Structure 1
Amino acid sequence: MSETPLAFMIATFVVLAVFFAVDLFVIGRKPHVPTTKESLQHIAFFIVMALIFGALLWLIVGAKPAVEFYSGWLTEYSLSIDNLFVFVIIMANFAVPRELQKYVLSVGITVALVLRGVFILIGAAIISRFTWVFFLFGAFLIVTAIKLAMGGDDDEEYHENAVIRALRKVVSITDEYDGEKLRTEKNGVRLWTPMLIVFLTIGTTDVMFAFDSIPAIFGLTKDPFIVFTANVFALLGLQQLYFLLGALLDKLVYLPVGLSVVLGFIGIKLVMEALSGNSLPFINGGHPVEQVPEVPTWLSLAVIVVAIGGSALASVLKMRQEPSAQQQGQQ
Structure 2
Amino acid sequence: MKILFPILLAIAVLQCVTGNFIQQKASGLHQTSLALRVRGGSLNDDNVEVVDVEQLEEEVQPSADSMAKLAAETSPQKGSRAYKMAVLKTCIAVASAAVFGAGTWVVKGQKAGMEFYAGYLVEQSLSVDNLFVFLMLFDYFKVPLAYQNRCLTWGIIGAMSMRLVMILLGVAAIQKFRVVILLFAGILLASSWKLFFEEEGDEDLSDNVILKISNKMFKSVDHYDGEKFFTKVNGVRHATPLLMCLVCIELSDFVFAVDSIPAVIGVTKDPFIVYSSNMFAIMALRSLYVLVAQAVTDLPYLRPAVALVLAFVGAKMIAEFFHYELSTAISLAVVAAVLGGGIALSVVHNKAKAAAVKQMSMSSS
The verdict on a shared fold, with TM-score over 0.5 as the criterion, is yes
Using the TM superposition, give the Cα deviation of residue 265 of structure 1 relative to its aligned residue in structure 2, in angstroms: 0.6
2:343 to 308, 312, 326: 312
Using the TM superposition, give the Cα deviation of residue 158 of structure 1 relative to its aligned residue in structure 2, in angstroms: 4.8
Matched residue, 2:91 = 44
CA distance in 2, matches of 1:250, 1:103: 27
* Residue 92 (1) aligns with residue 88 (2): no
- Over 3 Å counting, the alpha-carbon distance change for 1:38 and 1:27 in structure 2 is closer
Using the TM superposition, give the Cα deviation of residue 187 of structure 1 relative to its aligned residue in structure 2, in angstroms: 9.3
1:296 to 310, 315, 327: 327
1:106 to 143, 153, 160: 153
CA distance in 2, matches of 1:219, 1:19: 28
CA distance in 1, matches of 2:144, 2:243: 14
TM-score scaled by length of structure 1: 0.82
Using the TM superposition, give the Cα deviation of residue 9 of structure 1 relative to its aligned residue in structure 2, in angstroms: 4.2
**Cα deviation 1:158-210 (Å, max 9, x = unaligned):** 53533522554786544332321223467998653211221111111010111
CA distance in 2, matches of 1:319, 1:188: 57
Provide the secondary structure at the position in 1 that maps to 2:226.
coil
**Cα deviation 1:275-322 (Å, max 9, x = unaligned):** 22xxxxxxxxxxxxxxx3x21111111111111111122223334444
CA distance in 2, matches of 1:145, 1:28: 32
1:195 to 242, 255, 264: 242
Identity over aligned pairs, percent = 35
User: Cα RMSD (Å) of the superposition?
Assistant: 2.8
Matched residue, 1:280 = none
Provide the secondary structure at the position in 2 that maps to 1:131.
coil
Matched residue, 1:233 = 280
Matched residue, 1:156 = 202
Unaligned runs of 5+ in 2: 31-81
TM-score scaled by length of structure 2: 0.75
Provide the secondary structure at the position in 2 that maps to 1:178.
coil
Matched residue, 2:165 = 118
Using the TM superposition, give the Cα deviation of residue 237 of structure 1 relative to its aligned residue in structure 2, in angstroms: 2.8
Matched residue, 2:261 = 214
Provide the secondary structure at the position in 1 that maps to 2:223.
coil
- Over 3 Å counting, the alpha-carbon distance change for 1:201 and 1:329 in structure 2 is farther
**Cα deviation 1:225-267 (Å, max 9, x = unaligned):** 1111111111223212211233543543222211111111111
Matched residue, 2:28 = 32
CA distance in 1, matches of 2:120, 2:213: 37
2:126 to 79, 89, 102: 79
If asked which structure has higher relative contact order (CA below 8 Å, sep 6+), I would say 1
Matched residue, 1:289 = none
Q: Which stretch shifts more, 246-255 or 200-209? A: 246-255
Q: Which amino acid aligns with 1:237?
A: A
Are the aligned partners of 2:22 and 2:86 in contact in 1 as well (CA < 8 Å)? no
- Over 3 Å counting, the alpha-carbon distance change for 1:168 and 1:55 in structure 2 is closer
CA distance in 1, matches of 2:217, 2:160: 29
Question: How many residue pairs align between the two structures?
Answer: 309
Q: Which stretch shifts more, 259-268 or 92-101? A: 92-101
* Residue 20 (1) aligns with residue 24 (2): no
2:222 to 161, 172, 175: 175
CA distance in 2, matches of 1:188, 1:135: 53
Provide the secondary structure at the position in 2 that maps to 1:32.
helix
Q: Which amino acid aligns with 1:309?
A: G
2:304 to 246, 257, 263: 257
